[in-house]
Structure 1
């Protein structure tokens, strides 16, 4: 698995950030029910199990939902921008869109956007 070391095989926020900055999307899959997420969690959102395994997610996905932000947070200088929920096989991640995308469009990880030492995935 690329993107930095995992602590005892556990995905931490720090290892998730490091992987994202290196161009890899790391998520978690519940070994009890199979539910996958695109970011570190303490327990499965579907069944509550704490038996989670770090998995590398694809960097190409499909726009599941999208919206345009017209009043951005103070730390962003853009007037408007688009965000989307990207479906990556069994997991979904929220990401900024570089350009524009419609529901059903295929998009690829382009990099990250940094704010307050917190990277966010950018797809386009």
Structure 2
């Protein structure tokens, strides 16, 4: 994998059911989305890594007042702890709670073409 993870590469991976992140060679921290520099230490020595596609819901909320351009109401989003990193995504089942195990089940895409992973209970 390349050392510079682009948003396009990250999105392509999400669309194919994979999750990519970056690990900092200097401090060892891993993040679940592309960054130009490590948010922990500022280093630009980032290596692209594959992340697990299964994790635990760290926090979740239900969106009842959606952003402009989104018609659906009452959908659930979560930050999923993948062990090394956390990733935000959509939950496909409205009965998922904090501490539940979930796995990647696909992706969602907004009107502007931005994708996010979708998770379902395991």
| Fold-level similarity (TM above 0.5) | yes
In the alignment, the residues of structure 2 paired with residue 42 and residue 9 of structure 1 have an alpha-carbon distance, to the nearest angstrom, of 11
From 55, 61, 66, the counterpart of 1:67 = 61
Superimposed CA distance per residue, residues 25-65 of structure 1 (whole angstroms, 9 cap, x where no aligned partner)? 00001011111111100000111110000000000000001
TM-score, normalised relative to structure 2: 0.92
Is residue 111 of structure 2 the alignment partner of residue 122 of structure 1? no
The gaps in structure 2 that reach 5 residues or longer are none
- Structure 2 partner of 1:108: 103
The gaps in structure 1 that reach 5 residues or longer are 1-5
From 15, 21, 37, the counterpart of 2:9 = 15
TM-score, normalised relative to structure 1: 0.90
RMSD between superposed Cα atoms in Å: 1.1
- Structure 2 partner of 1:3: none
Secondary structure of the corresponding residue to residue 15 of structure 1: helix
- Structure 1 partner of 2:22: 28
In the alignment, the residues of structure 1 paired with residue 69 and residue 20 of structure 2 have an alpha-carbon distance, to the nearest angstrom, of 26
Report deviation, 1:67. Answer: 0.9
Q: Which runs of 4+ in 1 moved over 6 A?
A: none
The one of the two structures with greater contact order (alpha-carbon pairs below 8 A, sep at least 6) is 2
Secondary structure of the corresponding residue to residue 111 of structure 1: strand
Aligned residues: 118
